[in-house]
């Protein structure tokens, strides 16, 4: 039986070894940066001071950031709160300085280059213990997600496919985290949410590929496993590319037009979509092939009918 015809006939398996070497190198670099430089955790994880101010007119967030940076407040998060006239400012922890004094200094910095009446509404201190708790819960959320995915794919497909999908997800998450470590971009709760979204996106793409591989294993029973996987990747490639491109268009719009607040979120998703598309083709399927996936693994077990032994004796 010949392999089903497809408009595309790219030999993905031919580049399996170079892709494996590339993935291994990028993973090693990512892990090296994460272990040495670490992540640049944002105020959600490190704690700090939260200040709410009110303006009479719409607040210019970029100007506020510039004024605060000129006053020596380097690590700040500035965003609207409720309306465009209400602003939340989050500052990194400042040693040996009371929250009330920090609030007065921030208010003075904002009033220095503005003639508007700016009202200081509240000051809160977010302790480091809260940040540590968020760090633990964030890491636990990713771990639980990976375990749940392993169980789900094992039940829906087969354990070799499950390990392939989890390997691809771990690959995507590690490289995305490595990018943030290399660039030292701020890692806050929005980025953590993006990492979890990357897991979902990459899994969805992998499940589509695995579905087609399972179908073709049952149709092309005389073909080798590598040929069936290669054909399945070709058949799903157009869907993968279209999905990735349309998603990237939205993410690029968010990155360039969404403002400073969601730059990290958009960056993590852009990196995750690109790496996830690659891993669906070259990581998940290759791991399943390396584990020796065959059509027998996907065949439903035969159930012996009651009374079959007696029929055979007659």
The answer to whether 208 and 241 are in contact (CB under 8 A) is no
| pLDDT at position 1 | 38
pLDDT of residue 127: 65
Q: Which domains does the chain have, with CATH numbers?
A: 12-39+130-298 (1.20.1640.10), 48-126 (3.30.70.3400)
Confidence of residue 177 (pLDDT cuts 50, 70, 90): very high
Give me the pLDDT at residue 33, please.
94
Residues 6+ apart with CB under 8 A from 51: 88, 89, 90, 91, 102, 103, 106, 120, 122, 123, 124
Q: Is residue 243 predicted with pLDDT exceeding 80?
A: yes
Q: What is the pLDDT of residues 245-302, one digit of tens each?
A: 999 999 999 888 877 778 889 999 999 999 988 988 888 888 888 877 766 655 544 4
27: exposed, middle or buried (Cβ count in 10 Å: 0-12, 13-18, 19+):
middle
Q: Between β-strands 40-41 and 48-54, what pairing exists: parallel, antiparallel or unpaired?
A: unpaired
The mean pLDDT of the chain is: 80
Q: Which parts of 113-262 fold into alpha helices (H)?
A: 128-156, 159-183, 189-219, 225-257
Q: Render pLDDT for 182-231 as a digit per residue (tens, 0 to 9).
A: 988 888 888 888 988 888 888 888 888 888 888 887 777 677 878 888 88
Residue 9 confidence (pLDDT) above 80 = no
| Res. 7: pLDDT tops 70 | no
**Residue 299: what pLDDT?**
56
Q: What is the pLDDT of residue 73?
A: 81
Checking if the pLDDT of 133 tops 80, the result is no
Which pLDDT does position 131 carry in this prediction? 61
Interval 87-123: pLDDT, tens:
888 887 777 777 677 888 888 888 887 778 888 888 8
Percent above pLDDT 90 for the chain:
15
Question: Is 224 exposed, middle or buried, given 0-12, 13-18 or 19+ CB atoms closer than 10 A?
Answer: exposed
pLDDT digits (tens, 9 = 90+) for 135-161: 677 778 778 877 887 787 777 777 888
Residue 5 pLDDT:
45
Contact between 119 and 53 (Cβ < 8 Å): yes
Could you tell me the pLDDT band of residue 129, with boundaries at 50, 70 and 90? low
Give mean pLDDT, residues 59-85.
82
């Amino acid at each position: 039986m010949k392999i089903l015809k497809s408009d595309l006939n790219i030999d993905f398996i031919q580049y399996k070894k170079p892709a494996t070497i590339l993935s291994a190198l990028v993973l090693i670099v990512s892990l090296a940066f994460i272990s040495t430089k670490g992540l640049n955790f944002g105020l959600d994880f490190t704690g700090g001071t939260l200040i709410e101010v009110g303006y009479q007119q719409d607040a210019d967030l970029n100007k506020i950031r510039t004024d605060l940076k000129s006053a020596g407040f380097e690590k700040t998060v500035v965003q609207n709160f409720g309306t465009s006239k209400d602003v939340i400012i989050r500052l990194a922890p400042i040693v040996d300085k009371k929250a009330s004094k920090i609030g007065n200094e921030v208010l003075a910095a904002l009033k220095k280059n503005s003639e508007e009446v700016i009202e200081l509404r509240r000051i809160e201190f977010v302790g480091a213990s809260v940040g540590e708790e968020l760090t633990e819960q964030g890491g636990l959320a990713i771990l639980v997600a990976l375990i749940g995915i392993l169980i789900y794919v094992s039940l829906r497909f087969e354990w070799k496919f499950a390990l392939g999908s989890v390997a691809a997800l771990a690959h995507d998450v590690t490289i995305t985290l490595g990018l943030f470590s290399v660039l030292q971009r701020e890692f806050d709760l929005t980025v953590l949410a993006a990492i979890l979204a990357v897991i979902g996106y990459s899994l969805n793409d992998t499940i589509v590929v695995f579905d087609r591989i399972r179908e073709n294993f049952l149709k092309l029973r005389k073909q080798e496993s590598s040929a069936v996987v290669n054909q399945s990747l070709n058949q799903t490639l157009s869907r993968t590319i279209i999905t990735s491109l349309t998603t990237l268009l939205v993410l690029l719009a968010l990155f360039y037009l969404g403002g400073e607040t969601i730059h990290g979120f958009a960056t993590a998703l852009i990196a995750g979509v690109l790496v996830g598309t690659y891993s669906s083709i070259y990581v998940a399927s290759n791991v399943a092939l390396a584990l020796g996936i065959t059509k027998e693994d996907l065949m439903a077990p035969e159930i012996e009918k009651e009374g079959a032994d007696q029929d055979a004796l007659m």
